[in-house]
Structures are given as C-alpha cells and as structure tokens.
Chain A
Amino acid sequence: MFLAWNEIRRNKLRFFLITGVLMLVAYLVFFLSGLATGLQTLNREAVDRWDADAIVLTDEADKSLAQSIMLREKEDNLKADQIAPIGQLNAIANNKDEKQNISLFAIESDSFIMPEVLEGKAFKNKFEVIASETLKSEGFTIGDRVKLSGSDDDLTIVGFIASARFNVAPVLYTDFDTFYSIKYGETSETNNTKLNGFIVQSNDVNAITTDSELEAIPIESFIEKLPGYSEQNMTLNFMIYFLLIISAVIVAIFLYVLTVQKINIFGVMKAQGISSAYLARSVVAQTFILAFVGVAIGLGLALLTGMFLPDAVPVTFDLPILLTYGAIFVIVAILGSLFSVRTIVKIDPLKAIGG
C-alpha cells in the first residue's frame, strides 16, 4: 500500500485518468444492471406478487399462459396447499382519453393471489376491476369506465393495487364472470368453465399432478419462458460481462505500460533486496485503490442518474445486485493486474544496475 499510494500521489494525472475510465465503465455496468432489473420487473412483477411456487398449465401449451386452455374441473386432479384458478387475456384499455395495453386476469376474490387493494375497493359486481397503480400515471382513475378492445362491455375501475405488470402490460384483476363476458361475448354461457391455468403453492412441485395433460411448472421456469424475457436478460447480461472483461483488459494494459516504464526502478529495488512479492503486492494494491475508487464514484453517479430519469425509463437499482457487480468489477480489475505481476517477477536486477 505504501508504494502504491505514494506513486498515485506523485502521479496524480495519470491515475486520475485511469480511474476516470474505470469509473465510466463501472457506471455503464451499473446502469445496464439497473436496466436489466427494471425490464425484468416489467415482465414479472405481477407473477412475483402472487408469491406462488408453481403454475399448472396444459402440457401442450409449452409453458405459455395464453396458449393453455383447460376446464375448471381439472382442479380435481391437483394436489397442493393452495390452488388459485386463473384466466388471462391481453387487450387495449380505452377510457376515452387514454389507450393502454393491459393484461386482464380473472381470479377468485378469496384465492391466495388476490392482491391487497390500496385505494378504492375490491371488485364485487360484474364488470368491476381493480388495476395496477401504474395505470394512474397513464391517466386512469377510480370510477373510469374502460372499454377493452374486442369487447362491447364497459369495465369500471373500482380500486388500485400495488404496481403489477405482466409481460410489460399493467394488470387488471376481475372475477371470472366478467372475464367470460369480455372474452367470449355472447357465447360466454357455453365457455364458462374454461380457464388458462392454476396458480399453486406447494412444497413439492413434482407431486402437484399426475394428469398427463397437465404440467406443473416451477414459477421461475414459467417466468424464464415469458416471451422475450430470457432473450432480454441474456442480451443485457452479455453486455455487462463484456464490460467487465473490457475493464480487466484496460487495467491490464495500463498497469503493464506503467510496469514496463518502471522496470529500472523495480530492478534497482530488487537489487536492494526488496522482494518481487512486495512489489507485486504493491501493484495489486494500486489496482485495488483505482478500481475501488472508480466503482464507488460510478455507483454514486448511477444512483444519482436514477433519481433524475423519467418514469418511462425502466431502470430499477437493486443495491445487492449493484454491490455484487461492484465487487466483481474490483476482482476482475485485480485479475487484470496479475498480468504485470509476471513481468515484475521476471525483472533481472542485474540489468537494472547495468551489470
């Protein structure tokens, strides 16, 4: 630390520049990580709020809620602590002023996935719905009469629940009666036992059903299969991993150049009996200081940016994730510096003193 710190103090400009570069890369890592978390939330928020262990869909639906259609009586083939039937459709909601893509869920108001109503009241009568509070900022209010695309019926928003989004669309919850009217119109009478699946709480996902037409899917794998979800994650994570590699390479190049410049100084120090290990530790300590300061400033800037971003930008900063990436960033930078350690070990003190 002693050598490392004194060298930084003496050569402020060059270390300021490299810290600046690391800070920018770290900032980008944090921002992308925030974006990844934000986009994930957009996709899975509603599902996370169910606090469920699994979802039961038809086997042929291949884990897609919309493609899964089964009869209500399939519930008899399920064994679990809690079972909540669910119906789902996507539509455009129109309150005459605003149009908004929404996801309508049919649930039973006494099931475990029934959300807590934060404002207004729960749905009770036909055509009453409760809505994700994110719709408030889109210009929807309690009492609004909302028309859904593909249906002649009007829905009334009677309450708001905590933010819930499914596949980017804000969620409306209603009862099955309303759902059937919206979905099947005049033929609702003959379709009123059809639903999309069951949400389940159970410790043993494999034991939920033996019905070969049904598939019990752990909730995480269901989320992974949401359209676009894993693709999005993989893209953003790929960018983050790449940035981490880039930061390691930047550190490796920078410290290597510095080390090569100092070969004579290191050689003289080795001649005086200062061990390679001490010099190597000094380089690693230097990297730690640079990366740590860069990461800390980058993190601060990212959080600051987050405060000034408009709501439309889906950035959510999850501190534990950010700190993990920060730690990885520092470790990766130190790995980059190990490249120079090899050079230090190989320096021949004899050459340095001109023997």
Chain B
Amino acid sequence: MMTVLQLRNVSKSYNDGSKTIEALKPTNFEAERGKLIAIIGPSGSGKSTFLTIVGGLLSPTSGEVIINGRSLSRLNEKKRSKLRLEEIGFILQASNTVPFLKVKDQFKLMDRVKQKNMRANHLKQLMSDLGILKLKNKYPTDLSGGERQRLAIARALYTNPSVILADEPTASLDSERAFEVMELLQKETKNKNTTTIVVTHDTRLLDYFDHVYNMTDGVLTQER
C-alpha cells in the first residue's frame, strides 16, 4: 500500500501572553491509500489543529507535512490553495455547500475552478451512489441535514482527492443517518482508493474505521 500522507515531527504551539501553549506535540503520522482513519478525543485536545495542519490551512510551528510527495511547508499560500484543490477534499461539520448554487451547480463550480482530474463523466453515477441525483435541481437550504452531508461528501469525492478530511461529518445527524454516512465514506474510500481521515468524538462509529487514533492534550497515539 502506498503512503500518501506523512507528518514528520509536526508540532504547533501558540503564544498566549507569556505562556506557550502546545496544541500539538511533535507528531509522526502516516496514512495509506484506501484506509479510513478516525481521530477521536475530547474537544480542545488538538484534533482540529491536526486536521487543519494536514489540510494546509494552518502552518505548523515545526516539522513537515508531505502529501503525495510534496512538502506543504515549502509552498506559498497560492500554491497551497492549488494543492488543496487538487489533493484534498474537505467535509466540514458546518455545511460546506454554497447556499446560492443548486446541487448540480455545486459540482459545476468545481468544473470551472479545477479543469483537470475531474469525474464529470461519472458525476451522475456519483450522485446516484450518494442518493442525491433526485435533488440535483434543489438548493442546499431545501435539503435535510443528511442530504446536505451526502452532498458535501459527493462534492469532496468529485475532485478525486488523495486525502479526504472530515470534521465531525455526523455531528448533526441521528444514529441511523450517521451510520449511513459512515458506510458511504467507507465504501467510497475503498472504491476510489483515497485516504479518509475523520475527526469525531462519536464512539458509536468506531467499527467502520481501519485505524483509530486518540488525541489527548496534543499527543496523538494509535489505538488500533
């Protein structure tokens, strides 16, 4: 299996007055294609910090993040933005859809921005896999929470990312919907051979994951 994401001695600390707070202690981490990985831990433990560093939204204080052989820390904001577009799919807790675009136009927007490596031919299949084909002419505000989350997953998968980062993707869903979403993520991770990292504190879901990591006070430990 191919390693697609690598963290080498990555740490993050903030200055809070005279104190230095270590949100993320020096961490080494590797993820392979086709794996669904959970990061669990209480809120404030550094899960989100980890996720935003991996996603290239936050620069680490030290260490190196390597995605598909490219080191994030050596890129400027413009190049990192491009790398996010090409390699990373975000699924956010809050809906990451654009409220004034119809479901089908959410995908069209990505067509406009990113001209290659798209699944335009498979869009119909993707939408029907995720059960949102019927909704293609609706606006996000007309969708239920579960439908919106499935749209967000479809949006993230559409650009063929190497890494999918999901921040509490099941937070606003009831158990049944949450299991459905996890099954989808599991299936798509295998099918598309991507790496999916899910930050969650929902321990009901752990059976779906290949690996489970625990984050406590900025220390990442592998549990499984």
Residues of B within 8 Å of A9, CB to CB, are: 100
Whether A272 and B96, one on each chain, are in contact in the complex, defined by CB atoms closer than 8 angstroms, is yes
In the complex, what's the smallest C-beta–C-beta distance from A305 to chain B, in angstroms? 35
Given the complex of chains A and B, what is the CA–CA distance between A56 and B43 in angstroms?
Answer: 90
**Restricting to B41-99, which residues have a CB under 8 Å from any CB of A?**
48-49, 51-52, 55, 57-58, 78, 81-86, 88-90, 92-94, 96, 98-99
Cβ of A235 within 8 Å of any chain B Cβ, yes or no, is no
- Nearest 6 pairs of A and B residues by beta carbon: A273-B85, A273-B84, A10-B100, A355-B52, A7-B100, A350-B57
Cβ-defined partner of A350 (8 Å) among B52, B83, B98: B52
Q: Which A residues lie at the B interface, using CB under 8 A? A: 2-3, 6-7, 9-11, 264-265, 268-276, 278, 349-350, 353-355
Residues of A within 8 Å of B57, CB to CB, are: 271, 349-350, 353, 355
Q: What are 12 sample pairs from A and B whose C-beta atoms fall under 8 A apart?
A: A9-B100, A10-B139, A265-B98, A271-B57, A271-B92, A272-B110, A272-B155, A273-B84, A273-B114, A353-B167, A354-B92, A355-B52
Whether B100 and A11, one on each chain, are in contact in the complex, defined by CB atoms closer than 8 angstroms, is yes
Whether A269 and B52, one on each chain, are in contact in the complex, defined by CB atoms closer than 8 angstroms, is no
CB nearest neighbor in B for A271: B90
Cβ of B109 within 8 Å of any chain A Cβ, yes or no, is yes
In the complex, what's the smallest C-beta–C-beta distance from B50 to chain A, in angstroms? 10
Cβ-defined partner of A272 (8 Å) among B85, B99, B105: B85
What bracket does the count of chain B residues touching chain A fall in?
35 or more
Given the complex of chains A and B, what is the CA–CA distance between A7 and B102 in angstroms?
Answer: 10
Given the complex of chains A and B, what is the CA–CA distance between A74 and B121 in angstroms?
Answer: 89
In the complex, what's the smallest C-beta–C-beta distance from A262 to chain B, in angstroms? 9
Residues of A within 8 Å of B99, CB to CB, are: 10, 265
Whether A354 and B82, one on each chain, are in contact in the complex, defined by CB atoms closer than 8 angstroms, is no
Whether B84 and A272, one on each chain, are in contact in the complex, defined by CB atoms closer than 8 angstroms, is yes
Whether A353 and B105, one on each chain, are in contact in the complex, defined by CB atoms closer than 8 angstroms, is no
Cβ-defined partner of B81 (8 Å) among A270, A354, A355: A270
Residues of A within 8 Å of B83, CB to CB, are: 273
Residues of A within 8 Å of B52, CB to CB, are: 350, 353, 355
Cβ of B112 within 8 Å of any chain A Cβ, yes or no, is yes
Residues of A within 8 Å of B96, CB to CB, are: 268, 271-272, 353
CB nearest neighbor in A for B139: A10
CB nearest neighbor in B for A2: B112
In the complex, what's the smallest C-beta–C-beta distance from A345 to chain B, in angstroms? 10
CB nearest neighbor in B for A265: B98
**Restricting to B2-36, which residues have a CB under 8 Å from any CB of A?**
none
